[in-house]
Structure 1
Amino acid sequence: MSSKLHQRPPFRAEHLGSLLRPQPLLDVRHKIDGGQAGLEKDLNAVEDNSVKEIVKEQLDLGFHAVSDGEYRRHMFWGTFFPGLDGFEEIQNPDIDIFRMYVPDIAAFTESGHKPGETVICTGKIKHVGSTYVDQWNYLKNLLPKERQGEAKLTLAAPNWYHLRYKTGRAYPKSVYSSDAEYFADIAAAYRAELKILYDNGLRNVQIDDPNLACSELIKADFCSEKMLKGFKDNNEDSDALLDAYIKLYNDCLSSRPSDMHVGVHLCRGNFVGGRHFSEGGYDAIATKLFHNLNVQTYYLEYDTARSGGFEPLKEVPAHKNVILGLVTSKFPKLEDLEEMKKKVYQAADLVAQGSGQTKEEALNRLGVSPQCGFASHSDGNNVGKEDMVRKLQLVRKLADEIWPGEP
């Protein structure tokens, strides 16, 4: 079977970037978080060694979209925004600045947590140097040259520090007079970052966005009653907000070279203890999401019924790919291989119906993965290292049975 996915990203067997941190790395991080000073060199050495080990493990498991496990990050969104001029990371922020009904904020507060830090805009935004390139260069240099273009780096969503804040609180009015002005500088910063990464050999980008699929709620009860009510109470047009975010994405990606693969991971969240952010299908936003967002691949969550059915996949255009997140990363119970194979074929049927392709042609645009990372937060979820390995082995086996001989 010939395949668009065979020689370049995305691949048949994928994972979503974040992997469980080894205990020595967590131990050093916890000491630093607890206030112990002078451990920066120790942390760097442990990170280097941990990345080496997890890269080897991924290769041994047969994965091509190798990541560094996000081992140099505390949370999945990494260090991009704090590294820009015009942004400042603050500790113990005033809870009043947040949209309390936005999924990632609600996940914190409903679990008895308060956001311990956030990043706020304090001045004119400008890219002043890459915060990802050192992570990328270390990763790529652990791989043979012919495999470096397969490796994957995960990036923060460009709308991350906009949706979580109340209207008018994402930036000072003295700096930006409108969302359009603010978004223009965010997009310019992303273009600068992507150029640096591309010049250093990165060809496989995944943008993580738990909130994009929750931006349009007026037409349907989509993510949660709380978020739906929040937008209505504040007289906010979520349809226009989704359009603005799609335009922001497209502006961020407008100058990327044709051989840089970009996918977006749209999940329901993966908080500590397996707590998800939101639920519902992709139905309400499928047309805009799949047709208007200029990415090649969608990494979608389909591990439980809370993610809805495959019907929205009818909207996926014939030139785009879907990675089906069928294996949960939140709990250790192993999924049934035959049941997952049935789901892949069900999805292929609907992709074929919508695009006018044959089932085989539609299947050529699919792959499989866990539904989310195993450690979006550095402390991970309710799975252990052996559980994670079994899950990844299952993803690889599922892919091998449906697409034998393909990466």
Structure 2
Amino acid sequence: MSKLRTPFRYDFVGSFLRPERLKEARAARARGEISDQALEKVEEECIADLVRKQKELGYHGITDGEFRRSYWHLDFMWGLQGLEHIELDHGYFFHGEETTHGSCRVRGKISGEDHPFVRCFRFLKQFEDENTVARQTIPAPAQTLAELFRADNAEETARIYPDTEELIQDLAAAYRRVILDLYGAGCRNIQFDDCTWGMIVDDVYWKARVGNGSTQDEEASRYLRINNLSLRDLPEDLTVNTHICRGNYHSAYASSGPYDRVAPYVFAGENVHAFYLEFDDERSGSFDCLSRIPEGKKVVLGLVTTKRPQLEDKEILKKRIHDASRFVPLERLCLSPQCGFASCEIGNKLTEEEQWNKLRLVKEVAEEVWGK
């Protein structure tokens, strides 16, 4: 078993553009033209090819690119006991684009046994070697909690769970069960993907939330609490990091706002080992918020955007890394894209070659800043 621990000096968030062959196979399965087994064979072949490319480029973390998922978050939620796949009247409203309409709804008490992601991880695990470690990305517990109160979902959530505290405890316990099952399958590196903090810092979002009677401090405290409840009593050799961004769908974004408002909660208080943070444009604010990062924890600076194919200027990236080192020492900083390349299977607006060019740039800059 690999003893490598994320994050790495040059790193990535997790999702990759789906090959056309995979997209075609998924569409054919949806039409009933091929079997589940035929689709799985294509998925496994595409994942094996993706891992080979990750290794050839010299990256130490490997993922399955989220190739078995439609969404970065909902597929995981649908795998929990007590939650079901539904379609809403509307998707998420991003800037310039509405997403597809998938969501999840409570249909019974929530638990985490027999999650399909565990079986999927076992397939990825076989590709580990002395230079690489398999990583599992899942939506943060706070993200699932937020989804259960999205639009009309709230009414059904309240019917099954009139006591919100019971919901929080059950959901946290379900996550711990999945995490421990992943650990049993050999997983030692897990990543929480979390857009809830981006919602809190966005003023437009909060204007829409005023009628719910919730304050930003109350919401932040609730999200921090459920994330940390999910992380209680885990094995010491399990690394759990978190990735925080403001939405990523077909190169569109969902929210804007600096981290300052939530830094006293998530940076100062979340029991993770490292923070993968979106900093690819002005929507994220300055690096001042990094002063809230506790001693010993690492920050992966997401300075390279996955939303556009144009390559960033190396010297500007280096300058920004050194600017950030005023708040977190250089030895605790790393570099990555700000998010995945395909948070949903539709993917961002760039080609596969442009995707790999972005990762080549990340590696080259990291080696020039920290050495090979």
Give TM-score scaled by structure 2 length.
0.93
Report the Cα distance in structure 1 between the residues aligned to 2:4 and 2:66, rounded to whole angstroms: 24
Q: Deviations over 1:153-195 (max 9, x none)?
A: 1012212243242598164434322221101000111111111
Q: Deviations over 1:280-333 (max 9, x none)?
A: 110111111111111111110111111111110111111211000010001100
* 1:107 pairs with 2:90: no
2:85 equivalent among 77, 82, 89: 89
Moved over 4 A (4+): none
Structure 2, unaligned runs of 5 or more: none
**8 Å CA contact 2:198, 2:255 repeated in 1:** no
Please show how residues 357-396 of structure 1 align to structure 2 within 5 Å.
362-396=329-363
Report the Cα distance in structure 2 between the residues aligned to 1:203 and 1:7, rounded to whole angstroms: 9
Report the Cα distance in structure 2 between the residues aligned to 1:237 and 1:283, rounded to whole angstroms: 16
The corresponding residue for 1:48 is: 44
Instruction: Flag the 1:116–1:174 CA change in 2: closer, same or farther, 3 A.
Output: closer
**8 Å CA contact 2:13, 2:336 repeated in 1:** yes
CA RMSD of aligned residues (A): 2.0
Could you say what secondary structure the match of 2:141 adopts? coil
Report the Cα distance in structure 2 between the residues aligned to 1:398 and 1:130, rounded to whole angstroms: 38
Q: 1:111 offset after TM fit, Å?
A: 2.1
Which amino acid in 2 is paired with 1:223? D
Instruction: Flag the 1:120–1:390 CA change in 2: closer, same or farther, 3 A.
Output: same
**Count of residues paired in the alignment:** 368
* 1:26 pairs with 2:53: no
Q: 1:22 offset after TM fit, Å?
A: 1.0
Instruction: Flag the 1:161–1:194 CA change in 2: closer, same or farther, 3 A.
Output: closer
Kindly, what percent of the aligned residue pairs are identical? 35
**8 Å CA contact 1:28, 1:39 repeated in 2:** no
The corresponding residue for 2:54 is: 58
The corresponding residue for 1:200 is: 185
Which amino acid in 2 is paired with 1:247? R
Q: 1:41 offset after TM fit, Å?
A: 2.5
Which amino acid in 2 is paired with 1:323? V
Report the Cα distance in structure 2 between the residues aligned to 1:30 and 1:7, rounded to whole angstroms: 37
Q: Deviations over 1:77-121 (max 9, x none)?
A: 15332222211112x3255xxxxxxxx82228x6245x4321100
Could you say what secondary structure the match of 1:121 adopts? strand
The corresponding residue for 2:223 is: 245
The corresponding residue for 1:321 is: 298
Structure 1, unaligned runs of 5 or more: 1-5, 96-103, 216-221, 352-361
Report the Cα distance in structure 1 between the residues aligned to 2:210 and 2:194, rounded to whole angstroms: 23
